[in-house]
Amino acid sequence: MFELYRRLSVVLGLSAALFSAHAAVAQAVPAVNRGMEENTSIFVMGTETQTGFMGSNRALTAGASLTLRPFGAYTTAVELRATYPLSAASTASKEMTVLGGPVVRRRFGRFEPYGDVLFGLGRVDYPSGYIYNTLGYVRTTGFTYSPGGGVDVYLNPRLSVKADIQMQHWGIPVTESGTAWARAMSVGVSYHFSAFHRSHKADRSDPQWHPLSQDYPGVSH
């Protein structure tokens, strides 16, 4: 139980650090661009990772996404996320990642699908040890990249349900190819700091206008 609390505290600490980073960016961004900056979101998700070579594990993922600018119907952003393992079978590896990279989104009323390509570092722990080519391993670290995507389903302008999948490419010395593909599937919630309409008011005469899109009647900001 103590170990579980310790790991939860690590994830919460990562979330706090990401929130602090958002606050620092908010102070640095000029007021004219504040409408876009305040569309920053933070998220927390439960994650199931199929390691691709040694079982699966369950983890918590926490992160933040900072909107950059729109390109036509699309919006670009940068994202930072960290995944920390909570439990796994005794014979399964435990994978931890810290990843960041570009995200492209498009809004369709309540739904906002997105695609991303994330890069960073990954660590694999082998609770029971792992023997490969007569060498024993208890932990490996290396570069990881992760193409993926998902969707946010808005419950209101501030809160959305998030579903996400990432295909992670690992460089590890315990397979014949020296690499492995892991699949991380996550479900959780996102909190959005501000609606985008502060700098881009929705046109209510537009047939695509939706009460749960950028301009939401009756909600104070």
> What's residue 20's pLDDT?
53
Q: Does residue 89 have a pLDDT over 70?
A: no
Gyration radius (Cα) of the chain, Å: 19
For the segment 18-42, what is each residue's pLDDT rounded down to a tens digit? 445 444 544 544 443 444 444 689 9
| 2-198 is classed CATH 2.40.160.20 | yes
Over the range 143-177, which residues count as b (16 or more CB within 10 Å of their CB) and which as e? Answer: ebbbebbbbbebeebbebebebebebebbbebeee
Q: Does residue 152 have a pLDDT over 80?
A: yes
Q: If pLDDT is split at 50, 70 and 90, which confidence band does 216 have?
A: very low
> What's residue 28's pLDDT?
47
Helical segments of the chain, H only: 2-28, 34-37
For the segment 32-88, what is each residue's pLDDT rounded down to a tens digit? 344 444 468 999 999 999 887 777 889 999 999 999 988 899 999 999 999 998 876
Q: Does the predicted model carry a pTM greater than 0.95?
A: no
Q: If pLDDT is split at 50, 70 and 90, which confidence band does 194 have?
A: low
Please state the domain extents for the chain: 2-198
Cα 157 to Cα 160: distance, rounded to the nearest angstrom = 8
